Amino acid sequence: MKTSIDVRTSRLRELFASGRDNYERKIKDRFPDISPVMDGSAPIAIFGAARLGRIFLDGLTNRGIRVVAFADNNPALWGTTISRVPVLSPEELRRDHASHPVLIASLLYETEIYDSLMAMRFPLIYPLSFLHHARPDVFPSAEYDDAFTSLFTRDNQARIIALAGEWVDEISFDTFIGLLKFRLTLEKKIIRDLRSPHAQYFEPGLISMGKDEVFLDCGAYTGDTVTQFVRETSGAFTKVYAFEPDRGTFLTLQSRVSALDPSRIVPLNLGICESSGTRGFDESGTIDTRMGDGEGAVCLPVVSIDDFMREREAATFIKMDIEGGEMGALTGARETILRQKPKLAVAVYHRACDLWQIPLFIKQLNSGYKLYLRHYTNEPVDTVCYAV
């Protein structure tokens, strides 16, 4: 008789057995032919007039492909231009460019934009997920990098299968295999069906709060998670350390903390890494700022959790959402995790292999953890591994 682990393993093996070529064909059949976009035969419109849209514009114009319009849902951008390309409202886009290919340049609102364009009956809609799959050199997206190709190496498949029995509940395994299926098919309905209705990082039944919590918010952004933590604890906690490396965002965090509880919530303009020192940091003031040495990068002071906590209260809960730096941060928290075994809520979506490498690494650091997985949006972002 098969055990639940045997059943899970069989489901994963079946997923991989279909083969890369089969999945490639299905993806190609699901979306419009990309040739009119890349051969310059049709003028192009880009939906999304923020950073990613500008990157698309540069990639296309450098190849001699004409972009005739941007569109955006933000009324403040309507009537402006980007490199002489006008930014239109969705209604103006339909009026002036209904037959043109429309490229979606948004990660966080991809599904929302796609659904609205479908409702407006645009015939040629190219979502970011497909654009990146077809031409990652022109349409970059860190969260989609290697999301498909990484699933076809023997080492990664072995690690994925090894993780099958580590998920404590079926919701976690169903979320895990569902996210893998999405990467193989780009079917957004799969992700929509996985979405948890609860507060991210505070999943009921997984995360319980005592009265003496010491919470480390690594990647605190503007303080949204800190605010939720105060709400979840009803104000009964010992300390919060909120780490936000981006200087502009940190000012907002400071302001928010001062209105909450400045005596017990400590905002820190620091990055979290595997070791203390300095790192290059691509500072933009947006939600996806990250470590890097690109043009305009600043020198950022960073600290490891082990160094920071050595002379402080024992950590009881650590949340990490640091744009791909989670593995390094966990490495720098090895001693804390081994000795104190705090609750962990770690983002596992910034890099393709994080979905399986981070949970396996957590179990390697402390085998006493129980692992859970939950997903919180309609997009391939905000997937959290809980270790309790």
Same domain, 312 and 229: yes
Choose one of 126, 141, 175: the last residue of a domain.
Answer: 126
Choose one of 126, 143, 164: the last residue of a domain.
Answer: 126
Same domain, 202 and 301: yes
pLDDT grade, residue 293 (50/70/90)? low
Same domain, 200 and 121: no
The per-residue b/e assignment along 236-260, b for 16 or more CB within 10 angstroms, e otherwise, is ebebbbbbbbbeebbebbbebbeee
Residue with the bigger pLDDT between 298 and 197: it is: 197
Give the global pTM: 0.93
Strands 343-347 and 317-320: parallel
Domain that holds residue 76: 32-126
Secondary structure (3-state) at 372: strand
For 307-313, what is the mean pLDDT? 95
> CATH number, domain at 207?
3.40.50.150
| pLDDT tens-digit map of 65-79 | 999 999 999 999 999
| pLDDT tens-digit map of 207-264 | 999 999 999 999 999 999 999 999 999 999 999 999 999 999 999 999 999 999 999 9
pLDDT at 140: 96
Kindly tell me if the per-residue pLDDT of 10 is higher than 80.
Answer: yes
